[in-house]
Amino acid sequence: MDAAVAKRPPGFDAVTARWPLAIGLAALIIPTLITLARENWTTEAGIQGPIILATGLWLFFSQKDVIREHRRPGSLKLALPVGLIAALAYIAGHAFGFLVVQVGATILICEVIFYLFYGAEVCRRLWFALLYLYFVAPLPGWFQDRLTGSLKEWVSASVTHILSGLGMPVIREGVVMYVAQYQLLVEDACSGLNSLTSLFAIGLFYVYILHQATARYALLLAALILPIAIFANMVRVIILVLLTYFVGDEAAQGYLHNTAGMLTFITALLTIMLIDSVLQRFMVKRSERRSLA
């Protein structure tokens, strides 16, 4: 019996003993997840949302021994006002359809309860997991467009320059790219940039898991995530233009709606891994040369 109890997840008994709290959390979390799945995770900008949520929860599970060892009850005086603010934000976000506010408030409420159960020391040690979960909250469309507007222009101009330099009949006028007899809306061709936050989150997860002990190297890789995401989107646009030119607009549109988002994500992740591998080999060789000297 003692062995079975020891294998339970941290906080299992606390949650089951407070079943009204568990029901209340479910009443907040389940509708939020349903709304996320319906309004964001089915779009290209939010396609990586379930991956971020799953990896974020895994971060907590992977630290279960740390949670058990350093668990101390948190301060109710500190948690109560933060929890009230989060509850009001949830109500406002749900009532007015501000999904980013609703999701952010839901996460904050869960983290306040987590703090009450486990205390400040556990939260300090799990700081990355606590912050990482907020990447689940989708940015409003108008903010994404403002954030990525100039990047979309740069990507489309760069792709036009590259392909026209290779002899392809590609030109661009404003927000329209012309490929032979076809025309592509630049906003559609570069819409993968709307998933920059998701790509950045997954990149940070990769850096944290593999290099959390080497802060300077982790910061270097983190700084490369944004240009890597832009490169991945350039690959996406080049493939879209090539499909349009050689196969036709119908095939390109099918690619755009069916596989483009996941291909951009995979390209970015593989590029991060490749750069990481090259840098690691370079650092090993430099270390070997220093030791021989």
pLDDT confidence of residue 132: 94
In sequence order, the 6+-apart residues with CB closer than 8 A to the CB of 210 are 276
CB 240 within 8 A of CB 184: yes
Place of tokens 């920059």: 196
Cα–Cα distance between 190 and 273 in angstroms, integer?
A: 23
Long-range CB contact pairs, 121-127, < 8 A, 24+: 121/70, 121/72, 122/66, 122/67, 122/70, 122/71, 122/72, 123/74, 125/63, 125/66, 125/70, 126/59, 126/60, 126/63, 126/66, 126/67
Condensed to tens digits (0 to 9), the pLDDT of residues 100-158 reads 999 999 999 999 999 999 999 999 999 999 999 999 998 887 777 777 777 888 888 88
Confidence of residue 259 (pLDDT cuts 50, 70, 90): confident
Condensed to tens digits (0 to 9), the pLDDT of residues 24-52 reads 889 999 999 999 999 888 876 677 889 89
Is the pLDDT at 75 greater than 80, yes or no?
A: yes
Cα–Cα distance between 228 and 222 in angstroms, integer?
A: 10
CA angle 255, 258, 259 (to 5 degrees): 70
Condensed to tens digits (0 to 9), the pLDDT of residues 222-257 reads 888 888 888 888 888 888 888 888 888 777 777 665
| Structure-block tokens of residue 146 | 């403002």
Q: Which residue has better confidence, 84 or 208?
A: 84
Which residue is catalytic, options 38, 71, 236, 289? Answer: 236
Catalytic (active site) residue 190: yes
Model's pTM, two decimal places? 0.77
Q: Where are the alpha helices (DSSP H) in 97-140?
A: 99-125, 127-132
Catalytic (active site) residue 236: yes
Written as one letter, the residue type at 177 is M
Confidence of residue 180 (pLDDT cuts 50, 70, 90): confident
| Structure-block tokens of residue 232 | 């991945």
Is the pLDDT at 3 greater than 70, yes or no?
A: no
Confidence of residue 184 (pLDDT cuts 50, 70, 90): confident
Q: Quick one: three-class SS letters along 34-90?
A: HHHHHHCCCCCCCCCHHHHHHHHHHHHHHCHHHHHHHCCCCCHHHHHHHHHHHHHHH
**Of 84-88, 274-278, 287-291, the least confident:** 287-291
pLDDT confidence of residue 224: 86
| Angle, helices 141-165/196-211, rounded to nearest 10 degrees | 90
Which residue is catalytic, options 71, 146, 172, 190? Answer: 190
